[in-house]
Amino acid sequence: MRFGDPGYLWLLLAVAAVGIFFMWAFKAKQKALEAFADRVVLEHLVKSVDFRARKIRAALFLSALFFLAVALGQPQWGYQWKDVKRKGLDIVVALDLSKSMMAEDIKPTRLEGAKREIKSLINIMKGDRIALVAFAGSAFLECPLTLDYGTAKLFLDNLDVNTIPLGGTNLGEAIKAGTEAFEGHEKKHRVLILITDGEDHGDTVMHEVEEAKNRGVVIFTIGIGKQEGAPIPVFDEDGRKGFIKDKDGNIVLSKLDPVLLQKIALMTGGKKGTIGTGSFPLEEIYKDELSKMEKKELESSRQKRYESRFQWPLFVSILLYVIEAVIGERKRVKP
- How far apart are alpha carbons 139 and 171 in whole angstroms? 9
Of 44-53, 148-157, 310-319, 322-331, least confident by mean pLDDT is 44-53
| pLDDT value of position 192 | 97
Range among 72-81, 194-203, 265-274 rated most confident: 265-274
Calculate the alpha carbon distances from 215 to 138, 180, 181 in Å.
21, 10, 12
| pLDDT value of position 329 | 67
Mean pLDDT on 39-61: 72
Calculate the alpha carbon distances from 188 to 51, 88, 214 in Å.
77, 11, 10
Give the strands of the sheet with 217-224, arranged side by side. 139-146, 129-135, 90-96, 190-196, 217-224, 272-275
Mean pLDDT on 8-33: 85
| pLDDT value of position 111 | 94
Residue 40, burial from CB neighbour count under 10 angstroms (0-12, 13-18, 19+): exposed
Q: Is residue 46 very low, low, confident or very high in pLDDT (cuts 50, 70, 90)?
A: low
Q: Pick the residue with more confidence: 202 or 139?
A: 139
Cβ 138 vs Cβ 166: under 8 Å: yes
The residue type of 278 is G
Mean pLDDT on 209-236: 89
| pLDDT value of position 316 | 92
The conformation of residue 330, written as its DSSP 8-state character, comes to B
Q: Is pLDDT of 140 > 90? A: yes
Instruction: Return the percentage of the chain with pLDDT > 90, whole number.
Output: 43
Phi-psi map region of 190: left, alpha, beta (phi>0 left; psi -120 to 50 alpha): beta
Could you tell me the residue ranges of all domains in the chain?
2-74+310-326, 85-299
Q: Is pLDDT of 214 > 90? A: yes
Q: Is pLDDT of 236 > 80? A: no
CATH (residue range 85-299): 3.40.50.410
Of 47-56, 136-145, 161-170, 321-330, least confident by mean pLDDT is 47-56
Closest to 264 (Cα-Cα) out of 273, 254, 255: 273
Q: Is residue 123 very low, low, confident or very high in pLDDT (cuts 50, 70, 90)?
A: very high
Mean pLDDT on 117-129: 92
| pLDDT value of position 40 | 62
| pLDDT value of position 45 | 57
Instruction: Return the percentage of the chain with pLDDT > 70, whole number.
Output: 87
Main-chain dihedrals φ then ψ at residue 62, nearest 5 degrees? -65, -40
Q: Is pLDDT of 326 > 90? A: no
| pLDDT value of position 137 | 93
Q: Is pLDDT of 298 > 60? A: yes
Of 30-44, 87-101, 163-177, 225-239, least confident by mean pLDDT is 30-44
Q: Is pLDDT of 83 > 80? A: no
| pLDDT value of position 261 | 92
Supply the DSSP string of 48-59, one letter for each residue: TB-HHHHHHHHH
Mean pLDDT on 266-286: 83
Q: Pick the residue with more confidence: 199 or 44?
A: 199
Q: Is pLDDT of 333 > 60? A: no
Q: Is pLDDT of 144 > 90? A: yes
Mean pLDDT on 83-93: 82
Q: Is pLDDT of 42 > 60? A: no
Mean pLDDT on 72-96: 84
